[in-house]
């Protein structure tokens, strides 16, 4: 049975600027065994080239841009497939701007079809401009639903979800969120893996550390979902979710032997989990915009003066 792997990055391969133990062996085993794999990330700020360089500095020199699929690429794929002649006003960084440019999607600060919100790049002026564009009829699209993103073990930064929330509040319009767990992200990642394997894949596995994005999206897309405990999720919180991972691993180190030999490892689903070390404490507030049950109450309109 030939398997294609989608792999989240932060909390799975590295944390901050340190590789997680076993990550190099894991990726080398994938490469050596000819197993198709794709890094799938919600971070829309870097380009695939940036990510390849980052992992090169961390000790993985053999990765190329084709090994990465970001929510910025997903957004560009989505717009070029569903609305090829559209124009956009963008709040975001290089990865998003480059992806849209490569798909020949034009920037438009006057009457764009969409306001696209990604990671970073926001100023008060840009948010005000985006607000005006939505008021004039532009649709609101966010590259990913993350309200915040980890920077270090005790520090986070605002994510694309928080910027989209600003515009949702100011315009009264609901944003559409691409990236994980949106099924379009998994659909396109699966398509890329199939292309790389020339169609010869029997099953797909998503490996991630976040229940709300990696595991939820994979389950909803009908894929295997492996949760690693090397990132943001603690074992004692897994039972809180309706959707459950198909396997729980301490880290990607647990499946290196399985990938090398093709035989399941006896370290899978180990009962030694739950010793409480490693993962971050749960942070207050919903991490993802898609978790808000009812944000779309109509905004009271001001009395219009003409």
- The residues annotated as belonging to the active site are 8, 10
CA distance between the termini of the chain: 68
Among residues 3, 5, 10, 15, the one that binds Mg ion under rule CB under 5 A: 10
Beta bridge partners of 288: 146
- Shortest distance, CB of residue 87 to Mg ion, whole angstroms? 32
Applying CB under 5 A, does 212 fall inside the site for Mg ion?
Answer: no
User: How far apart are CB 228 and Mg ion at their closest, in Å?
Assistant: 9
Beta-bridged to residue 6, according to DSSP, are 38, 206
**Judged by CB under 5 A, which stretch of 104-112, 147-155, 207-215, 283-291 contacts Mg ion?**
207-215
Taking the complex as a whole, how short is the minimal distance between the CB of residue 231 and Mg ion, in angstroms?
A: 5
Among 3, 4, 7, 11, binds Mg ion (CB under 5 A): 11
Among positions 77, 146, 209, 254, the unique one binding Mg ion when judged by CB under 5 A: 209
Cα torsion 190, 193, 149, 178 to 10°: value is -40
Q: Provide the 8-state DSSP code for 274.
A: -
Rounded Cα distance, 176 and 139, in Å: 9
Q: Which residue, 100 or 211, is less far from Mg ion as judged by CB?
A: 211
Q: Which of 251, 226, 209, 266 is nearest to 26 (CA)?
A: 251
Give least dist CB 289 to Mg ion, A: 17
The yes or no reply on residue 121 touching Mg ion (CB under 5 A) is no
Structure tokens at 277: 């070390």
Under the binding rule (CB under 5 A), the answer on residue 8 touching Mg ion is yes
Residues lying near Mg ion in the complex (CB under 5 A) are found at 8, 10-11, 209-210
């Amino acid at each position: 049975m030939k398997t294609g792997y989608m792999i989240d990055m932060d909390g799975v391969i590295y944390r901050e600027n340190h590789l997680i133990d076993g990550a190099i062996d894991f990726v080398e085993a994938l490469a050596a065994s000819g197993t198709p794999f794709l890094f799938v990330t919600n971070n829309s700020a870097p380009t695939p080239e940036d990510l390849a360089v980052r992992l090169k500095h961390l000790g993985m020199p053999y990765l190329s841009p084709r090994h990465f699929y970001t929510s910025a690429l997903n957004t560009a794929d989505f717009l070029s497939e569903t609305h090829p002649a559209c124009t956009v006003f963008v709040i975001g960084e290089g990865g998003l701007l480059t992806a849209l440019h490569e798909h020949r999607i034009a920037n438009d600060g006057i009457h764009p079809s969409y306001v696209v919100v990604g990671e970073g790049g926001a100023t008060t002026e840009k948010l005000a401009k985006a607000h005006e564009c939505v008021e004039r009829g532009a649709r609101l699209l966010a590259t990913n639903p993350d309200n915040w993103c980890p920077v270090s073990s005790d520090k986070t930064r605002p994510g694309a979800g928080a910027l989209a929330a600003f515009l949702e509040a100011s315009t009264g319009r609901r944003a559409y969120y691409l990236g994980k767990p949106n099924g379009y992200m998994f659909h396109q990642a699966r398509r890329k893996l199939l292309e790389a394997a020339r169609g010869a894949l029997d099953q797909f596995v998503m490996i991630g550390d976040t229940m709300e994005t990696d595991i939820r999206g994979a389950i909803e897309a009908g894929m295997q979902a492996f949760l690693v405990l090397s990132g943001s999720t603690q074992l004692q919180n897994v039972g809180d979710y309706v959707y459950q991972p198909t396997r729980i691993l301490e880290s990607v180190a647990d499946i290196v032997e399985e990938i090398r030999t093709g035989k399941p490892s006896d370290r899978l689903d180990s009962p030694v989990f739950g010793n409480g070390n490693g993962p971050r404490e749960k942070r207050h507030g919903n991490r993802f915009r898609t978790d808000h049950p009812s944000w779309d109450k109509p905004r009271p309109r001001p009395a219009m003066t003409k």
